[in-house]
Chain A
Amino acid sequence: MTFEVKDSEAAPESGFPVTRRTFVKSAALVGGGVALAGGVQDWFNPAIAETARGEAAYALSDPRSILHTSCLQCNTGCAIKVKVIDGVVSKIDGSPFSPMTFWPHLDYKTSPLETGGIDGWVCPKGQAGIQSVYDPYRIRKVLKRVGPRGAGEWESIDFAQAVDEIVNGGSFSDGTTTPGLREIRAMTDPALSEEIAAAIKKITDEKDKDKKKELAAEFKTTFAASLDQMIDPEHPDLGPKNNQFCFAWGRLKDGRGEMIKRFTGEAMGSVNAHGHTTVCQGSLYFTGKAMSEQFTEGKWSGGSKFYWQADLNHAEFVIFVGSNIFEANYGPPYRVEKVTDGLVSGRLKYVVVDPRMGKTGAKAWKWLPVKPGADAAVALALIQAIMRDERYNAGFLANANKAAASAAGEPTFCNATWLVKIEDGHPAKLLRGSDLGIEPEEREKASGSGTWKFDPFIAMVGGVPTPLDPNDEENPVVGDLLVDATVEGIAVKSALAVLADSANEHSMEEWAEIAGLNVDDLEAVAREFTSHGRRAAADLHRGVSQHTNGYYNVQAWFDLNLLIGNYDYAGGLTAGKTYDQKGGKKGQPFPVESMLDSALLDSGVTLLRTSKYESSTIFDGYPAKRPWYPLATDLYQEIVPSIGDAYPYPMKALFMYMGSPVYALPAGHTNIEVLKDPGKLPLFVAFDIVMGETSAYADYIIPDLSYLERWEFQKTHFNVIAKNAPVRQPVIAPMTESATVFGIEQPISLESFLLAVAETMDLPGFGPNGLGEGMPFMRPEDLYLKEVANIAYGEKPDAEDAVEEASDEELELFVESRKHLPASVFDEAAWKSAIGNDESLWRRVVTVLNRGGRFQGAGSVLDGKKLKNKYGKYIGMYCEKTYDTKDSMSGEHFSGVARYFEPGVDSVGTPVSALDEAEGFDLTLITFRTILHTKSRTVSNYWLNAVAPTNHVVVPASDAARLGLSDGDRVRLSSKSNPDGVMEVGDGRVVDMVGEVEILEGMRPGVVGFNLGYGHWAYGSNDIVIDGATIPGDPRRARGIHANPVMRTDGHNPNMCLVDLVGGSAVFYDTRVKLTRA
């Protein structure tokens, strides 16, 4: 008797079983075009499977069937090894070459021919990546909507037709038409673009209002001939019409990032290339940016969009604050082992500050179930206790400049001792030499193009105001820590004293009350934190930053870290390091960003208003129509609503790459109204691998390559102490159809589409000379191989820092292990020629690709008690640039010092959380990850769904008892801004905000939550029509609840969630909700 492979969901009770449901298959979605090597259908043919049998007993450790690349099942991007059998991925494991997935990892020099049998660590999602790639709902052909947007009906069209319609305009069966990119790219002259950019900069930089007006008027005469290329000649600072093209993305990594920026900026001439940072941990990044701003040539600049995390490998004590390290974060394969090792060896103990215990809290020394959003209160309480008991690292804090730090052997220093002017009792700008009558000093600019005026900062040294240059490497200034004085009639305090004031705004008891914790715990944690020298750290993440007060929560906690001076120390905070692929460092072979034939210079206010409101010509008093965010970028929650409100200007086209704001954003459903409306958004193109919750509203969907079919540079994450650069490279044949672009056959993808548009429009930065004279950019590898070469070459001249050249055996392995890849992807000659046919460089590239990236050895991560890879710079305890920025809604200065601000306040200062609570929305809604899911894109992973088929509305036991709920009850969530607890999809369907209750003790009373990843209404969960055939959705993908639509919207801009005006965060944890039985 024989058995057939059965349908897992041919539910026995559902009638007669079918071996396999026989669907009318749409070739656009499945089975069409070039699929897998040999075609999927062949796999039903036992003859093929026979060949797979009986070969090597264990084919999975054969180096010839292994390729190393980088996971993208979550943004951690662990280095992985992918085992491919007959062109199909059989197994994914961690790469033993990378510190992220093996510790200590293998010596980089180890030959991959010898490592087939050594597997590293990956999390369950990493394992299940196979199912994201082999997703039955993958799109393989370009889809064009039939009927209105979001109606769920599509036709598959030719790639060439899609390119043509998107470039020249298209028309749809419902009578709508879309504008083409050609029309939007009004300004095409590079020289003109530079002139215009300069003129706009002048207008923007002008502080005087009247003069600004004059300059704007002047612009109209200067560029009279080109005014039709401007969005609004009255407001030239809005920039050219090119800005009406926006490229937005969710999960974008480098490589593709360079490509998109080149396309949007240099080629299309638009300033509007925007990512998703603020939905992620926006204020964590932007506080990091603010605190890392360096004083350069008279200005605060060069702050990096990043943040510090704890070095768990050496830490003895860690406070995890809203940092879900066992289940999310960056990422479990690297971080968990450091903790479990520490727990069992006795090295480490830790505290979890989180309203939810979770798996991380389960092993904590103390779980502090903080009230959501009261995180700064906890930090400030600890700061108060530490200051009171003088348990801070006075030596570190006293170093006021680089010279002092170097003298003390400190890699970093901060401005704790610098004097801050106190105006009306509030800290304002930093005291400068000029305030004391010291004449600013004229200095050469580093570029040699002129001079700048150096006006020193002042620290008190032994009671004497002392000028200082932060970057001075010769003259150490060691300042007094706690200063409260009047200098030349100016009230001043040291930055540390200003911070102490913040910490003393409340008593310990009051702080405890605000945070919902008890004083004894706070005192104990403060003591412990200061009992391990530098081997202690507070590690923060989304739970701290995604609040209306997120920026200051983060700053308070980073200030706490400053008190023990743990930055760059083993067991303290780390900033991580990666190998640069852009080639910007001296000596690197391919500085790709500057390799261009010609380019437009983009200019103007961005759609997201990432500049000062006051410096724009559309300044119109407070509050602004929508907020401006001079301290942040990539404000995901603003993209679509700003388009909807045509503020600061109307938009013509949106390209959305690997992002799903409709699903991901708090109250993301409010985007639907705009996305559905061609009047507000005339052209909407999405790049996707499936029909996602957002791409469902597109005019065109360009099928993309999955993470195992494409290139990207994942780089590293801040907490990885070894220098680390996994490279994502194609390991299986593409599943999309192929197309011919620049005469080369290539798979349909983000890259080939952009290349084809560039070809059609003859855009600069692409084509036969796209990367400079004689340097083609006609296929993705033209760019990406150069970037790999940069990594391989290293960051020092003369290949001093280069990886070794691959041996002949390794070269052979390189080709052999790629034998299943079609020429449209792997073409050795083309790859080699992309790096100029340099044999030595090629061998180095092979070394990197054979190992899936470049990784520093585990033995070289320390420098005594410090980390080898250092941040190594100034850190701002008091952030003057932040103070210098005004809230565009109130017109008031932001605070330069960390303070406790009440969470749940909308953009115009209304305390919505408190008000909603008074109206009976008595529970606070939070959200979190489990290790099984990544946002909108793992519901296709059936293995993971087998562990957790659905998510839950997690309710604390005491609240459940109060509400009479038991496990499994169905409840509806509602809020002030979504009183009915429903969401309209726009195709007639209504999604109920109803979920199943799970009662937990490990949840702070008064707080309910749900985990991310379920409650889909698209992404293969619903029926769609392609070419007239219905593709039935899979009910397994529709389970559970996604309660983002319940999250509170802003009072002033109700088409958007609550925001942190300083750090830009989209707010996830400040909504008050009600639970009702459904």
Chain B
Amino acid sequence: MPDLMPRENLVLRMQAEVQRALDKPQNSRRWGMVIDTRKCVGCHACTISCVAENKLPPGVVYRPVLDHEVGTYPNVTRKFMPRPCLQCDEPPCVPVCPVGATFKRADGVVAIDYNQCIGCRYCIVACPYGARTFDAGHTYTGSTPEQQPYELLPSYEYGVAHSRVAGSEDSPVGNARKCHFCIHRVEQGELPMCVTTCIGVANYFGDLNDPDSIVAEMAAKPNVVVLKEELGTKPSVTYLV
């Protein structure tokens, strides 16, 4: 019988590890995520938390969760797979960008400079994981009797307040957009939104270069799988099955 001792709070542990990584220079940390599909219950809390945190408009999604039923009655199960940007180490989305608006940071995050992006969507085409979406400027409540204020609040992506109010210069409207590991939170010592909110605590996040971190430990498990490994994209997000 396993004992009855209280368990460790994984979120707090990972937050401490993030803090530890932040104390190092940017280029010696490498953010990564391991998603434990055994613990994922397909609830979409991560999807929606990301939408809310990053003020994503209709048509823009950073972390959809795929849901497949497998087997036949009565031997059936369902598999869930959240899909953030995998922050590839060899990101096919980066070299195609004609203006260098998207780039790989020293800490492993593949970022988009919202003020540089011209919205050509070449990177969207180039991502083999469908991880980029285009912000066409929709709103959820624009077609209703009243546009609601929460949609126009700034997002803090990349540590800058980006407004969706019409005409503002740093608006992400017209850009390609994608998951950025919530680097604006991570650099404050917090975890990506999808990681903190996950009701299954199915995500491990932290510095893959830190051997003592739980994410590094999990990333080295034998039951880790890499999405479309054959493409050689070397994702920083892997899955436990």
Residues of chain A touching chain B, judged by Cβ–Cβ distance below 8 Å, are 2-10, 19-21, 23, 25-26, 29-31, 36, 40, 43-44, 46, 49-50, 52-55, 57-61, 85-86, 88-94, 102-105, 117-124, 126-128, 130-131, 134-137, 314, 316, 326-327, 332-333, 336-337, 340-341, 343-347, 357, 359-360, 362-363, 367, 369, 532-533, 535, 570-571, 858-859, 862, 865, 931-932, 942-944, 946-947, 956-958, 1000-1005, 1020, 1031-1032, 1034
Contacts and interface: CB of A to CB of B under 8 A. Distances in A.
B176 interface: no
Contacts of B174: 3
A53 B190 contact: no
Contacts of B201: 121, 337, 340-341
Contact of B78 (A26, A91, A357): A357
7 contacts: A8-B59, A8-B139, A46-B168, A119-B197, A337-B201, A865-B4, A1001-B76
A336 B41 contact: yes
Contact of B48 (A31, A85, A124): A124
Contacts of A946: 51, 58, 61
B49 A127 contact: yes
A91 B76 contact: no
A58 B188 contact: yes
B6 A104 contact: yes
Contacts of B76: 357, 362, 367, 1001-1002
Contact of A30 (B2, B146, B149): B146
B144 interface: yes
B41 A947 contact: no
Contact of B156 (A25, A57, A346, A1020): A57
A314 to B, nearest CB: 6
Contacts, number: 304
A89 B78 contact: no
Contact of A134 (B51, B149, B199): B149
B43 A124 contact: yes
A96 B198 CA distance: 13
Contacts of A44: 147, 152, 165-166
Contact of A88 (B52, B146, B153): B153
B85 interface: no
A316 B144 CA distance: 50
A943 B199 contact: no
Contact of A52 (B74, B78, B154, B173): B154
B177 to A, nearest CB: 14
B73 A1001 contact: yes
Interface of B: 1-2, 4, 6-7, 9, 11-12, 15, 36, 38-45, 47-49, 51-53, 57-59, 61, 69, 71-74, 76-80, 136-154, 156, 159-168, 170-171, 173-174, 184-185, 188-191, 193, 196-202
Contact of B6 (A92, A93, A859): A859
Nearest to A21: B143
B121 to A, nearest CB: 15
A118 B47 contact: no
A8 B143 CA distance: 7
B143 A1034 contact: yes
Contacts of B43: 123-124, 326-327, 332, 336, 359, 931
Contacts of A105: 9
Contacts of B184: 57-58
A362 B166 contact: no
Contacts of B39: 340-341, 343-344
Contact of A932 (B44, B141, B185): B44
B52 A1002 contact: no
A83 to B, nearest CB: 10
A363 B41 contact: yes
Contact of A333 (B11, B146, B199): B199
Nearest to B158: A57
B69 A943 contact: no
Which of B15, B59, B168, B189 counts the most chain A CB atoms within 10 A? Answer: B168
Given A104-B9, A123-B45, A362 B159 contact: no
Nearest to B141: A136
A-B interface, 7 closest residue pairs, ranked by CB to CB distance from nearest: A136-B144, A340-B39, A362-B78, A7-B142, A8-B138, A49-B165, A8-B58
A813 B136 CA distance: 40
A1002 B146 contact: no
A127 B49 CA distance: 6
Contacts of B142: 5-10, 19-21
Contacts of A570: 4
Nearest to A38: B149
A136 B148 CA distance: 7
A53 B9 contact: no
A122 B136 CA distance: 29
B159 A58 contact: yes
A1004 B163 CA distance: 49
A343 B153 CA distance: 40
Contact of B152 (A5, A92, A122, A571): A5
Contacts of A1002: 69, 73, 76-78
A7 B201 CA distance: 36
